[in-house]
Structure 1
């Protein structure tokens, strides 16, 4: 109205609004910083696993080839002996044919099966136990505590020896567990490492 002086708005109202907005922004910023800290926090690492040497795939393939080819050869020998001895009957042919086809199919699918078997065959040497993971279709994980291991041995057949590989066997009171193949130097190191931890675990009991 004319003649009336306009009353100034108290400055504390603006300051109050600014303070509220500042607190809200500070709270949001604080929440964001908390979230960022939680996201950047390191997660608990998984137990390390070690794969077998890649050359073990050739060992497995050669074993399968020897087994399946021997089976097919055996079918041929049985057929020959049956003909020469006069034992051949109407069921010999179908049975031997089915056996030969199955052995041939097994050999033909070995490269793919070995590839998957190798991908899921690994081991882990922990501070309290050894863990073995095997199988690609039916997978199994076995844990062997050091205080259950009685002794550790190595095994090396002609095929493993030709590729400078060694198998390590862990013997318990009720079972045997095997790391299928390791490089010779690695096998020696693993055997010594496991043996020392077995002795330490038995001393602690």
Structure 2
């Protein structure tokens, strides 16, 4: 069975943001591994089973890094959204895929956010809040994000008037 894909896809620049986020995350774990190794060497415990744990840690870290970097194009394929007059649909997941539908009359407010990596690529994130949770739509072009935010607000107003 072919999995349905929503029509709107993120800009290609989101891949660069995902890569940068992954570099930072893996850099932190690498530095933690180096600090742990330095502590073991300092206390003269870098021998026997501890040395094997350190080697295994760095090998696993390298494998995870390579796997996640290789899966970024595949992840991009399934990161989509759609806005209709009744709801907003978010599609995510590259191994375990899901589509979440948020009815417009359940939306409480809409925010825009921009972290340093999104700012470097001139991208923006829209956060849609409901009473239960929030839904993130990251990696939109700045002009598209502002227009989309305004469109969502107008659709929410129209949906709340109908109720």
What TM-score results when the alignment is normalised by the length of structure 2? 0.91
**Whose strand proportion is higher, 1 or 2?**
2
Of residues 69-78 and 88-97 in structure 1, the stretch that sits farther from structure 2 once superposed is 88-97
- What is the CA–CA distance in structure 1 between the aligned matches of 2:141 and 2:93, rounded to whole Å? 21
Of residues 68-77 and 175-184 in structure 1, the stretch that sits farther from structure 2 once superposed is 68-77
Does the 8 A contact of 2:5 with 2:78 survive in 1?
no
Structure 1 equivalent of residue 87 of structure 2: 129
Report which structure shows greater RCO (CA 8 Å, sep ≥6).
Answer: 2
SS at match of 2:81: strand
Is 2:151 the partner of 1:198?
no
Any stretches of 5+ residues in structure 2 without a counterpart? Answer: none
Deviation by residue 1:158-191 (Cα, 9 ceiling, x = unmatched): 0000000111111111111111210111100011
- What is the CA–CA distance in structure 1 between the aligned matches of 2:148 and 2:22, rounded to whole Å? 27
Structure 2 equivalent of residue 14 of structure 1: none
- What is the CA–CA distance in structure 2 between the aligned matches of 1:47 and 1:149, rounded to whole Å? 23
Deviation by residue 1:107-140 (Cα, 9 ceiling, x = unmatched): 2123321111100110001111100111121110
Does the 8 A contact of 1:51 with 1:123 survive in 2?
yes
- What is the CA–CA distance in structure 1 between the aligned matches of 2:5 and 2:94, rounded to whole Å? 20
- Structure 1 residues 84 and 148: alpha-carbon distance in aligned structure 2, compared to 1, 3 A threshold: same
Tell me by how many angstroms 1:149 deviates. Answer: 0.6
Aligned pair count reads 160
- What is the CA–CA distance in structure 2 between the aligned matches of 1:144 and 1:154, rounded to whole Å? 17
- What is the CA–CA distance in structure 2 between the aligned matches of 1:71 and 1:173, rounded to whole Å? 35
What TM-score results when the alignment is normalised by the length of structure 1? 0.73
Is 2:78 the partner of 1:120?
yes
Any stretches of 5+ residues in structure 1 without a counterpart? Answer: 1-45
SS at match of 1:54: coil
Tell me by how many angstroms 1:72 deviates. Answer: 1.7
Deviation by residue 1:26-50 (Cα, 9 ceiling, x = unmatched): xxxxxxxxxxxxxxxxxxxx99611
